[in-house]
Structure 1
């Protein structure tokens, strides 16, 4: 069985987990085995209806009196014990911070090799994985072989489309209670405090308007805010703008900020450094506005306007208002 670790919020799987399921389903098909899912949390059992369309045949709801909240070592230990219990040859996790943390603990327990941020995986006749994966924040594509009786892989963010299975499954749901010790629970989430972020979170926005050093200053983001409002999106920023103190860190798009996958990303006054492109490479379409025709963002964009954003964006705002 291929076992996928699925993160969820109130019984709804998150986008990165659905992406990981696409990879897991490919592997299950290639190896001719079933696809199962491991879920944690009180609402885990409710995911049966949500995961059936993606080909999940078995849902394993991990429950324990001490697992009321996130505890990385305990979750990793639980995932490892479950993989042993159901004799899963491969564990697939989303390319999120939590997915990588849980898989690392599980891999240490299982003494199994792990390949992170995979963008493609092929299975040869001997069961060896020929894979490609991102390294160095996406600036390097590595080809590697992964072999072993037990393997762990993570799906790189926004590299696998969320697609339903050819045939919807009706998954069975079973509870699994791991055997945990006090040391497994020495680190856990004690409480969650909400930030003061308003509007649509960057990771969920279908339209993102990004601003870099070329915006000029914090007051000049008003026109970008207006554009985002007109398009039903949200505003992001490059690291350069964040470092200038023009926008809060929550707005940062890039390797050390948010990874976005909007339908369209409008990059205004952004040079297009590698670290920034790592954060926005999941965008369906990139439209860049920049005065420098040789800027990296212009070369990488699907569409480009070579011009002053302080002239282009107001004109764009006026044109959108006229159409609404």
Structure 2
């Protein structure tokens, strides 16, 4: 069985990355089940499969072992239940307790451990919260953990390393494997809707697990230029050092508005204090998968490229035709971003009358 920790947003909806994780679990159920089976006795402990090597696992997986179940901590809305049903979840574990209303990594992780299968997989999306919880789960269960997994087959797990510039194939020893799924490793896919059983629990929360927890959440005030909804946007306009200054985002923000999209910026932009970290795209920011990403004045550092690898179409606007971004783009325009984006905005305004 595969248990997926599902995150929900402030409206009670399943977040995109968790929908991706559920889809990953369902579409890779057979591989995950086989990989979680015990290794043969002659297989050395700590063994990692090399390229092309197939881990020898017992054949035959029961329907029960292929089940995908979800764990939701806190309020479970009807909307989230319906979303999980559409994604093919067989059972929902609803973990709710007054002491779990505020996030506590240790307490939340123990709640997951209490319902985790003895043999199978526990996974979450590779968000900061998912990463932290799965690390705690791995330690508490004594299981091996793999982070940023992007694929699974009979040869093992494939995960991103070095900021997404390389991949590592490995097999985790033991009956239980703990994973995080890299953002946008797959696209959420609905299937024949299930009628998932919902299990509610009477939880006993240990005081020691509550020593570290969130005690206050402050919502930052935003203005009309806030465009931080990156992970949901179908069009993202990226801006880098090439904008020139904190006041150089005018044309870019207008293009964002025309496209009904979001603004994404490079690490150097947030480092200079020109835009908030919530808008950063890359290894230490958001990983995005829009239909189109328009990179304006961004050279294409490794960390940034790791964050945009899910983009379906990449357009680069840059004065440096040798930059990584231009070389990797589907389409490139060589020129000053202010002139190019300004001309695009003018054409859009003209066509819209």
The alignment's TM-score, normalised by the length of structure 1, stands at 0.91
- Counterpart position of 1:188: 213
Paired with 1:251 and 1:64, the residues of 2 have a C-alpha distance of 33
Give secondary structure in 2 for the equivalent of 1:13. coil
Q: Deviations over 1:270-299 (max 9, x none)?
A: 100101112222222211001111110011
Give the distance between the partners of 1:247 and 1:35, measured in 2 at CA.
40
Aligned equivalents of 1:100 and 1:14: distance in 2? 15
Distance 1:240 1:103 in 2: 30
Q: Kindly state the Cα deviation for residue 161 of structure 1 after the two structures are TM-superposed.
A: 1.0
| Equivalent position of 1:140 in the other structure | 166
Which residue matches 1:24?
25
Offset of 1:248 from its aligned partner?
3.0
- Matched residue SS, 1:250: helix
Other structure's SS at 1:219 match: coil
Structure 1: 5+ residue runs without aligned partners? 125-129
1:179 maps to which residue?
Answer: 204
Report if the CA contact (8 A) 2:126-2:147 is conserved.
yes
**What is the aligned residue count?**
316
1:1-324 alignment, distance < 5 Å: 1-9=1-9, 10-30=11-31, 31=33, 32=63, 33-43=66-76, 47-84=80-117, 87=118, 89-123=120-154, 130-165=156-191, 167-198=192-223, 199-201=226-228, 202-324=230-352
Alpha-carbon distance in 2 for matches of 1:312, 1:204 = 26
Q: 1:46 and 1:65 mapped to 2: Cα distance?
A: 22
* More displaced stretch, 198-207 vs 47-56: 198-207
Alpha-carbon deviation of 1:135?
Answer: 1.2
* Deviation for aligned residue 1:37: 0.6
State the 1:78 CA deviation: 0.8
Is this contact kept in 1: 2:16–2:232, CA < 8 A?
A: no
Cα RMSD for the two superposed structures? 1.8
CA distance in 2, matches of 1:174, 1:44: 14
Quote the Cα distance in structure 2 between the aligned partners of 1:19 and 1:256. Answer: 19
CA contact (8 A) 1:3 1:88 kept: no
Verify the 8 A CA contact 1:118 1:154 in the aligned structure 2: yes
1:93, distance to aligned residue in structure 2 (A): 0.8
Q: 2: CA distance between counterparts of 1:69 and 1:320?
A: 46
Contact 1:45 1:173 (C-alpha < 8 Å) held by counterparts: no
Structure 2: how far apart are the matches of 1:60 and 1:194? 29
Q: Which residue of structure 1 lines up, in the alignment, with residue 37 of structure 2?
A: none
